[in-house]
Amino acid sequence: MKEHNQHKLSFNPYLEKLYQSDKPLIIYKVIDGYNIYTDFSKKILLNNKNINGFLKSFEKKKYKKETDLYLGFFGYEILCNLIGISIKNKKRLNFYKGIFYKPETIIKIRKDIKIISNIKNHKFNKQFNKTKILSPFKINIPYQKYKKIFDLFSKKIRQGETYQIKICTKYKNKSLINPINFFWKLMRVNSSPESFMIKDKDYSIVSCSPETLIDKKKNSIITKPIAGTLKKNSSINKLIALNYFKNNEKETKEHNMIVDMERSDLSKICKPGSVKIIKKKYVAEYKHLFHYVTSIGGMLNQKTQLIEIIKAMMPGGSVIGCPKIRTLELLNNQEKESRNIFTGSFGYIKFNQDMKFNIIIRSILNYRNKSEISAASGVVLDSTSKKEFNENYIKAKSLLELFK
């Protein structure tokens, strides 16, 4: 929020022209501010056939300057396909399975604004898109339908087929949005550490995703699973939230299961004995809720390939459930709509193979004049259908408010 206010007070003619233009761009929240990426020289549309080649290509690249990277996202479906999970008979938007961009310009927004660019003459075609709400939001799974799926999954848990499973609900409307306005508005109220925005000619994504799935620097890798949600009110602070999570059997079970699964995922690609908990069971605070988080790290095996890291860690377990493969199969049998970007991953891969990816949750996808906001909460043995259904709404609330 502090970084946003600093940016808001700093008028920059280049940035204003960029915001008002038709140029595709990406805004990404970083530790001490925001990076904006634009002037994309390459745009790679991923599919099941070219994803291996795309990830393999980084082995031949050299990192010489800050623009030597690709940014973009893997959709849920392509990640499932990578680990042998097929997705059939879904209602689809026919949205992209994944897209990555090679930027030639980076604008760093800190206390000041710094532009790094390989482009000498910047040209802007003016185009301002005003937000238009064309229909009210509707939920794709009403409570009674949700309860039927919940009851089925509760039965599967009792039978031992899964231990935790995340049911996805969607809020959808017809709308045209100005994603840049939406993003900065969202940052004023809910500046999460993995927030991002993509604006392209035919779609946009606005996200306040809070969860880091992969943070790889050289041979070191860190993941920060989130499992546990508490709605905020005026009488609850971080210490009270921490005591709530520690003393709540359902939240503790859910958190421990996800942490164990993420440690297991890391162990597939890390040196034996190197996977450790860095920071255990702490609270992160957001506008409408508190989250329960643990940080886990490890040292990668020598010559671990990018494709091996992606397959081990994605889709992120904290928004799927566990065990991952059987839970994905159960979800894909019950969910009637494609998840598109939801529970996919957004981030970057540098030419030296360092990379950082989040889990795409708390996000608006706008495509073909339709917006969708997806949310999911965890079903475990002690869950109640009404509470989990309502939790999905709490998670989507800050995004729904942008449309008011």
CATH at residue 94: 3.60.120.10
Number of folded domains that form the chain: 1
Rounded to whole angstroms, how far apart are CA atoms 250 and 103?
Answer: 44
| Region for 75 from its dihedrals, namely left if φ exceeds 0, alpha if ψ lies in -120 to 50, beta otherwise | beta
For 315-321, what is the mean pLDDT? 83
Rounded to whole angstroms, how far apart are CA atoms 39 and 41?
Answer: 6
State the chain's mean pLDDT as an integer.
Answer: 91
Task: Residue 335: count other Cβ atoms within 10 Å of its Cβ.
Answer: 20
Using one digit for the tens of pLDDT, what is the confidence trace for 292-307? 999 999 999 998 999 9
Domain with 109, as residue range(s), is: 2-403
Task: Residue 274: count other Cβ atoms within 10 Å of its Cβ.
Answer: 16
| CA-closest candidate to residue 71, choices 374, 346, 363, 379 | 346
Using one digit for the tens of pLDDT, what is the confidence trace for 256-295? 988 999 999 999 999 999 999 999 999 988 777 889 999 9
In the chain, helix, strand, coil percent, each to 5?
30, 35, 35
Residues 80 and 29 sit within 8 Å (Cβ to Cβ): no
Using one digit for the tens of pLDDT, what is the confidence trace for 336-350? 899 999 999 999 999
Q: Say what the pLDDT of residue 10 is.
A: 59
Q: Say what the pLDDT of residue 2 is.
A: 41
Using one digit for the tens of pLDDT, what is the confidence trace for 67-92? 999 999 999 999 999 999 988 778 88
Has residue 5 got a pLDDT over 50? no
**Of the candidate ranges 30-44, 53-67, 237-251, the one whose mean pLDDT is the lowest:** 237-251
Has residue 395 got a pLDDT over 90? no
What DSSP letter does each residue of 357-374 carry, written as one string? EE---SEEEEETTEEEEE
Handedness of CA 187, 346, 96, 316 (dihedral sign): negative
Using one digit for the tens of pLDDT, what is the confidence trace for 203-239? 999 999 888 999 999 999 999 998 888 888 888 999 9
* C-alpha distances in Å from residue 16, one per residue of 7, 41, 177, 213: 12, 22, 18, 33
Supply 125's token pair: 């075609």
Phi and psi for 305 in degrees, rounded to 5? -85, 155
Better-predicted residue by pLDDT, 313 or 230: 313
Helical (H) or strand (E) element with 146: helix 143-158
Residues 60 and 87 sit within 8 Å (Cβ to Cβ): no
Residues 182 and 131 sit within 8 Å (Cβ to Cβ): yes
